[in-house]
Structure 1
Amino acid sequence: MRGGTMRRLRWLVNARHSFELYRAFLWLALPFGCLFVFLVPPFQSPDEPNHFFRAYQVSEGVFYAEKKEQRLGGELPLSLSQVRDSFLFLKMNYESRLDKNLIFRQLKTPLGTSLRVFTDFPNTAIYAPTAYFPQATAIALVRPLGATPLQMLYAVRFANLFIWLLLVQAAIRLMPFLKNALAALALLPASLVIAASANADVITNGLSWWLMAAFCARMSGQFKTVTSAVVIAANKLIALPLALLVLIGKKQRGRFVFLFSAALFAALAWGYFAQKQFISYDNYHPAFREAQTLSEGVDPARQQVFILQNPLFFAKTVFFSAIKALPSTAAHFVGKFGWEKNYLHPLWLAALWAMLAAVFFSEKNPLATRQRLLAAGVAVLYAGMFAVTMYALWCPVGAMEITNFQGRYFVPIAPVLALVLANNWLEKFRNEIRLGAVLIMVFGNCAMIISILTRYYA
């Protein structure tokens, strides 16, 4: 009896001293992610209807969106927009609640591919088709099986989630250091909720994390590394600076020229096509523009000229807009769900940020000052390109504020910030921090489940 007790005690002590957060990643991310696939009501993730429409279009082999009578989108089955419309009452209506029977009824609504209408999705029509590979593949696989539109949406969510899990797990395995920091960022409730949606940024986020890990593991010359950099740049122009991380390794300048040139070409090529396709609010068909995710008074060409002519005004606008948006951006990054301003309780937000800080400050980081400065420069360039893009595409010409700062837009560079900030100041508390992080992640995601149920179903 005494011998058995001692063995159990030794096992607990050894487990405590050998525990690593990253080893628990899939065990925690998979069940919580699958729950979020079903718990978040259909089309209630940011821009999910339009991402779903664009994914369906790509699944039919239409890689370039259609322009028709001052509208941008494509000819899609009428049932897709009908199913979307049945859930519109939830959006921006904090008093509305969902009857689960509505979901069951809509699961039976047939696709009906013969009846088609032109469907508007102007904000996602300019996305590169490579951003929809998992979603489009899922739709193409289940469509011949007689799947309904809502069944397709759930298939798309699962496809996005599983590909993201694979990419993040691959990044964790590949990363020679900061594995726990990667796991902590990926296990944030907001990270899992967006990964379990139809959003096109999901695969780009996962690829961005994997690419950073590949550069840190000195894999800059491999074909899949170059391909990932090209896809990321095409999917998200502002993520182009991530290709600069190839310089984090020694003697990489020769490879840098080829890799960065390929990524730059992809970004410019798709950026050219997207610019040709874009229709501003003022030029959109008056009968349809009010329902679109477009802002009045936007003119990207004139806005870019304004920035060049007024650089100090623009810099001031970016600075004060970022400061004003900092609290909501921080909350959005760790604990937001749904399309509206749905956040976890402030105590949970504080706990999640404290956990992230503790993990970051208990990780060994072998990067030299030069390498950290490079990573910081990449983050600054990304943020600068984000500000220019938001100002050009979402703000009226000469606007005094950028209003579209959201935490989810900074997910691609979150691990890059870990490269800059991580250190071993709290290394002596390493094991306690790891165990505490698991508890906060588990209970934080449980709090997210309760918040979703309360917001949409209670």
Structure 2
Amino acid sequence: MNKEKKIPGHILSLFIILLSISGVCLLMYKAQFRFNLHQPIEYVMMTTHKPTGTITLTSDSPVLTETFTCTVPELKMFTLEGTAKNKNSDARLFITLANADSGEIYYQAEHALSVFRATKKKELTCDLPQPVSASENAHLQLKLELINGDKTVLSFTSNEKQALVQEFNNDTNSHTNIIYSFTYGDNNFMLYFYIALCVILLLFIIMTFYLIIIRQMTVTKFYIPVALFLELIFQCLVTVHGVPDEPTHFDAAYSLSNKMLFVKNTETPGNTIYKRRCDAQLSDMLSNGLETNSYYQLLFHSFEFASDTDLIEISYVSTSGLVPAVVYVPAAIGLSIGRLLHLSPMLTFQLARICSLVVFILLVYFAICIAPFGKNLLGALGLLPITLQQAASASYDSVINGFIFLFTALCFYRLHNPKRKKSYLIALGFLALFIAIVKGGVYLPLLLLLLMCFSHVPHHHMHKKMRWIVPLCICVGAVLLIAVTLIKFMPMFSAMFATDISADPENTIYPISYVFQHPLQTIYILWNTVIQCSDTILRGLLGGKLSWLDININWSLLIVFLIILLLLVNVKGDAPVFTRKNRTFIAFSCLGSLLLIMFSMMVGYTTMDCDHIQGIQGRYFLPLAPALFSLFSTSMVSVDHNRSCKIWETMMVIESLVVVQAITMII
């Protein structure tokens, strides 16, 4: 009877939520989104988040030519990026873009060098007189000629496009690209993408409201459908190559996929791999970040069969030194299925991402089921925007985060049930070994949680001999794991030790020896990092920095996420109950891992002219979050099941608002 009385109230609440989200979607469209429609689609060919090369024009070598395959329709404009030193008033740059097969000229113009600066790179825009209607799959040739150069040195940003560039300066072995970006077509299709996304979000809210508010399901029961639905949304929101370093992860998974499909190795297996030509072309086409071209490829080239499946040799950067191959198995399986079915490159890459996210969802689900407490916390951490972004990608973070979430849950289980499930010890051993051999061992301090588990076993439950055998085994195991870490990453550590401190500070990374020789200065650098970067790190951990850190979510939404986490860790019957000793173990494990992450970025990325550590991102600390946030359980706060359901639904609404804000920032 009570349930029947609540139904009208539930319907009214759902209607208000849907109306509010619809209003936000409409307001976002009117205030931001619509103004950027009917613009050309942008396709950035240059790598914008990684180092690029330079190609130079001088009076001694005044001509550059690049022959490439144009993969976009209705080409409208292209840009070049560069600098000019020792400019003289007579110097000119003559640019020609023509069809390499027919010789038809699409663009020809002479430009003064006034647009370029001597140091700071500037773009030169070349608008075609009219769009090239037959540009897709056409072979084009770009020719640059420096006229009256004298002492002028004209330098252009360059990179490698191994599948798109056929020759550079008549050298067929060179795949150098000097085109910074193209614009083509019309991005009006993004309106339909926005409408579809808004409708899907409303359906998502209806589903979660039914499961969480009406059915009053616990996180154990609703996590899988909610996570799967929301992560598929994030997979479309943050497209292929939109996640940091995803191109490298795809190549690593592709190498493993070749082994699954019995594709032979190249003559230099550590440096090159075989890829389908169409897959290599799509990799060349997608920028490192989010742009309208990525969504055009997703919407219009996903559901088609692969056109060119011939294998070509492509260079790649191996990640075998940082992580074991097992982290790429899910993505490799997805790639293999797509290749066997001759699916389009985009759908093949998406299938790889889907396999990774399914594995992550299952790992977090097992962690939620196993954990004796903190189930709501684990579920909420598994649904943060940054977690969803990494899980719905080819990044190894998907498997690493899932495994460490599971490891933390097993440790909590062992702490709560010291005499049960001996089979869990095998899983703990495997996960401990895994933690020791990923990312330079920066998560190794988390193994202190094992000491917390086994030290909790009462002595009267042990045989007399076991009272000293168990601690001895723990110590031996710890030594072995540290030894495995040192052996695994010894080449990397040796390179860091070998850095010459006396070299140019602006181009030299802090060596490990610096930490030992200047401990006080190292402490200052750590302190400066905390003071200057802690807000950015927290923002990234909560999902405020998405894609290649170019989507900034409003702080007001992130604060709600933080409050939700602090409340869900105190749900009645699910709140962690630790002794002071337990809290000490957890605090030291998190602090130790946090310091190792900071040190690794200091000696692996930060140049010696900086007074703080560079490159630290909030997502690096996500594996620590289950243990870290469990420390915020307190008897001063108690959330019953009914209120926890309302908190969960609030989180779903905020997730939807994050998606809406993110999509309006893309075009």
The answer, yes or no, to whether TM exceeds 0.5 is yes
Q: Do the aligned partners of 1:33 and 1:195 also contact (CA within 8 Å) in 2?
A: yes
Show the counterpart of 1:381.
592
Show the counterpart of 1:35.
233
In the alignment, structure 2 segments of 5+ residues that lack a partner are: 11-211, 415-420, 458-469
Between Structure 1 and Structure 2, the one with more strand by share is 2
In the alignment, structure 1 segments of 5+ residues that lack a partner are: 283-294
Partner SS state of residue 421, structure 1: coil
Show the counterpart of 2:83.
none
In the alignment, which of 628, 644, 656 is matched to residue 434 of structure 1?
A: 644
Deviates more, 1:167-176 or 1:182-191: 182-191
CA distance in 2, matches of 1:281, 1:313: 18
Letter in 1 for 2:434: V
CA distance in 2, matches of 1:32, 1:356: 18
Residue 141 to residue 326, structure 1, CA distance change in 2 (3 Å)? same
Show the counterpart of 1:286.
none
Q: Do the aligned partners of 2:442 and 2:597 also contact (CA within 8 Å) in 1?
A: yes
Q: Do the aligned partners of 1:373 and 1:420 also contact (CA within 8 Å) in 2?
A: no
Report 1:110-259 matches (<5 A). 110=307, 112-119=309-316, 121=317, 126-218=322-414, 222-236=425-439, 237-249=441-453, 250-251=456-457, 253-259=471-477
- Give, in angstroms, the shift of residue 10 of structure 1: 8.5
Deviates more, 1:306-315 or 1:389-398: 389-398
Q: Do the aligned partners of 1:138 and 1:156 also contact (CA within 8 Å) in 2?
A: yes
Q: Do the aligned partners of 2:213 and 2:646 also contact (CA within 8 Å) in 1?
A: no
In the alignment, which of 613, 623, 648 is matched to residue 402 of structure 1?
A: 613
In the alignment, which of 313, 336, 348 is matched to residue 557 of structure 2?
A: 348
Report 1:351-362 matches (<5 A). 351-362=560-571
Deviates more, 1:205-214 or 1:268-277: 268-277
Number of residue pairs the alignment of both structures matches: 428
In the alignment, which of 448, 453, 456 is matched to residue 658 of structure 2?
A: 448
In the alignment, which of 297, 306, 327 is matched to residue 535 of structure 2?
A: 327
Letter in 2 for 1:238: V
Q: Do the aligned partners of 1:360 and 1:421 also contact (CA within 8 Å) in 2?
A: yes
Show the counterpart of 1:292.
none
Residue 385 to residue 426, structure 1, CA distance change in 2 (3 Å)? same
- Give, in angstroms, the shift of residue 151 of structure 1: 2.5
Q: Do the aligned partners of 2:506 and 2:608 also contact (CA within 8 Å) in 1?
A: no
CA distance in 1, matches of 2:289, 2:312: 27
Partner SS state of residue 46, structure 1: coil
- Give, in angstroms, the shift of residue 170 of structure 1: 0.4
CA RMSD of aligned residues (A): 3.4
Query: Residues 26-70 of structure 1, C-alpha deviation per residue, up to 9 Å, x if partnerless?
Result: 2321100112222322211111111111111122349xx9997xx
CA distance in 1, matches of 2:343, 2:495: 31
What TM-score, normalized by structure 2, do the two folds share? 0.58
Residue 125 to residue 246, structure 1, CA distance change in 2 (3 Å)? closer
Query: Residues 250-282 of structure 1, C-alpha deviation per residue, up to 9 Å, x if partnerless?
Result: 24635533543453344223213555899x999
Letter in 1 for 2:541: F
Residue 377 to residue 152, structure 1, CA distance change in 2 (3 Å)? same
Is 1:57 the counterpart of 2:255 in the alignment? Answer: yes
Residue 19 to residue 391, structure 1, CA distance change in 2 (3 Å)? same
Deviates more, 1:109-118 or 1:47-56: 109-118
Q: Do the aligned partners of 2:252 and 2:319 also contact (CA within 8 Å) in 1?
A: no
Partner SS state of residue 631, structure 2: helix
Partner SS state of residue 273, structure 2: strand
Letter in 2 for 1:86: M
Partner SS state of residue 364, structure 1: coil
Partner SS state of residue 635, structure 2: coil
Q: Do the aligned partners of 1:344 and 1:451 also contact (CA within 8 Å) in 2?
A: yes
- Give, in angstroms, the shift of residue 230 of structure 1: 1.1
- Give, in angstroms, the shift of residue 316 of structure 1: 1.5
CA distance in 2, matches of 1:16, 1:371: 37
Q: Do the aligned partners of 2:566 and 2:629 also contact (CA within 8 Å) in 1?
A: no
Q: Do the aligned partners of 1:209 and 1:415 also contact (CA within 8 Å) in 2?
A: yes
Residue 320 to residue 156, structure 1, CA distance change in 2 (3 Å)? same
Structure number with greater Rg is 2
Residue 324 to residue 142, structure 1, CA distance change in 2 (3 Å)? same
Query: Residues 415-444 of structure 1, C-alpha deviation per residue, up to 9 Å, x if partnerless?
Result: 1112322223211x4335412321222112
Residue 262 to residue 159, structure 1, CA distance change in 2 (3 Å)? farther
Identical amino acids, percent of aligned pairs: 20
Query: Residues 396-433 of structure 1, C-alpha deviation per residue, up to 9 Å, x if partnerless?
Result: 24632112221100011101112322223211x43354
Show the counterpart of 2:524.
316
Partner SS state of residue 217, structure 1: helix
Q: Do the aligned partners of 1:241 and 1:382 also contact (CA within 8 Å) in 2?
A: yes
Partner SS state of residue 443, structure 2: helix
Query: Residues 165-220 of structure 1, C-alpha deviation per residue, up to 9 Å, x if partnerless?
Result: 11101011111111111111112122112210111111011100111111121268
Deviates more, 1:25-34 or 1:123-132: 123-132
Partner SS state of residue 437, structure 2: helix
Letter in 2 for 1:174: I
Letter in 1 for 2:443: A
CA distance in 1, matches of 2:231, 2:285: 25
Deviates more, 1:351-360 or 1:245-254: 245-254
- Give, in angstroms, the shift of residue 448 of structure 1: 2.6
- Give, in angstroms, the shift of residue 9 of structure 1: 4.5
Report 1:254-333 matches (<5 A). 254-272=472-490, 297-299=507-509, 303-333=511-541
In the alignment, which of 246, 251, 255 is matched to residue 48 of structure 1?
A: 246
- Give, in angstroms, the shift of residue 84 of structure 1: 1.9
CA distance in 1, matches of 2:402, 2:484: 18
- Give, in angstroms, the shift of residue 339 of structure 1: 1.2
Partner SS state of residue 440, structure 1: helix
Partner SS state of residue 588, structure 2: helix
Is 1:411 the counterpart of 2:619 in the alignment? Answer: no
Report 1:13-32 matches (<5 A). 20-32=218-230
- Give, in angstroms, the shift of residue 314 of structure 1: 0.9
What TM-score, normalized by structure 1, do the two folds share? 0.83
Residue 83 to residue 6, structure 1, CA distance change in 2 (3 Å)? closer
Deviates more, 1:441-450 or 1:384-393: 441-450
Letter in 1 for 2:550: K
Q: Do the aligned partners of 2:445 and 2:592 also contact (CA within 8 Å) in 1?
A: yes
Partner SS state of residue 272, structure 2: strand
Q: Do the aligned partners of 2:364 and 2:382 also contact (CA within 8 Å) in 1?
A: yes
Q: Do the aligned partners of 1:168 and 1:210 also contact (CA within 8 Å) in 2?
A: yes
CA distance in 1, matches of 2:343, 2:473: 46
Query: Residues 204-242 of structure 1, C-alpha deviation per residue, up to 9 Å, x if partnerless?
Result: 111001111111212686222211211222123111112
Letter in 2 for 1:248: M
CA distance in 1, matches of 2:282, 2:495: 27
CA distance in 2, matches of 1:81, 1:262: 41
Q: Do the aligned partners of 2:371 and 2:413 also contact (CA within 8 Å) in 1?
A: yes
CA distance in 2, matches of 1:199, 1:325: 24
Residue 159 to residue 261, structure 1, CA distance change in 2 (3 Å)? farther
- Give, in angstroms, the shift of residue 74 of structure 1: 2.5
Residue 257 to residue 432, structure 1, CA distance change in 2 (3 Å)? same
Residue 22 to residue 309, structure 1, CA distance change in 2 (3 Å)? same
